[in-house]
Structure 1
Amino acid sequence: MKLHVIIISLLLALISAREAVPVESYILTLESQPLSIEKTLTDLQNVVKSAGGKITHEYSLIKGFSMEVPKTTAKSILKHLEMVASRARCKLNLEPDQEIHANSVHGL
């Protein structure tokens, strides 16, 4: 009985530790569309996933997706994404994902 409690406690601790990794959120969109847009998007998503990141949303109206990447490797992941896009002869836009308020008043 006590062994089960210890094992469950360890598993919960491991899950909590995994979720505690700080991440940065970005939106990636393709400005110019390469000939094989779907392959390019798949290649870009694979870069994120293989580096420990997560695709959080795929956009259908515009070609792109949002992602979360580990904060410690974010810069190298973003550079790798730019290299993949360059090889596909397309320009991509990368920007931090953040809240935007349409009715906010600045300076008050």
Structure 2
Amino acid sequence: MTKSFIVTLKDHVPDVDVASIKDSVSKMGGEITHEFSLIKGFTVKLPESMHIDSIKSKHSDAIANIEEDKEVSIKK
């Protein structure tokens, strides 16, 4: 089973660092499922056994935010 996360990067992050983060995701057995064009960021799928915190701590200077990608609804 996998979990999906939205990874948002800081605006100043150079492309070489973006590539390094993507490489870390791949090495953890994860997969980039979508890249955003308006902001620096992407969605990733990771095996549930892997913790997104390891990517967050390794690349903390480049990552603005990581949150679980899940359906959002409005209840009336």
Give the TM-score band, short-chain normalised.
Answer: 0.7 to 0.9
What is the CA–CA distance in structure 2 between the aligned matches of 1:83 and 1:99, rounded to whole Å?
26
| Aligned amino acid, residue 29 of structure 1 | T
Say if 2:39 is the partner of 1:80.
Answer: no
**Which stretches in structure 1 are left out of the alignment for 5+ residues?**
1-21
Q: Deviations over 1:34-53 (max 9, x none)?
A: 3xx21111111111111111
Larger Cα-atom Rg? 1
Residues in 1 aligned to 2:18 and 2:58: alpha-carbon distance in whole angstroms: 10
Cα pair distance change 1:84/1:33, threshold 3 Å: farther
Please identify runs of 4+ aligned residues in structure 1 that moved more than 3 A. none
Higher relative contact order (CA 8 A, sep 6+): 2
How far apart are residue 99 of structure 1 and its match? 1.7
Distance in 2, matches of 1:79 and 1:99, equals: 21
1-structure distance, mates of 2:18, 2:40: 8
Would you say how many aligned residue pairs link Structure 1 and Structure 2? 76
* Unaligned ranges ≥5, structure 2: none
Is contact 1:85-1:92 (8 Å) kept? Answer: no
Same amino acid, percent of matched pairs: 30
Give TM-score scaled by structure 1 length.
Answer: 0.61
Higher helix share: 1
TM-score normalised by length of structure 2: 0.83
Relative to its length, the structure with more strand (as a share) is 2
Separation (CA, whole Å) in 2 of partners of 1:45 and 1:83? 14
DSSP-derived class of the 1:68 partner = strand
- State the Cα distance separating 1:92 from its structure 2 match: 2.4
Tell me what 2:8 maps to: 29
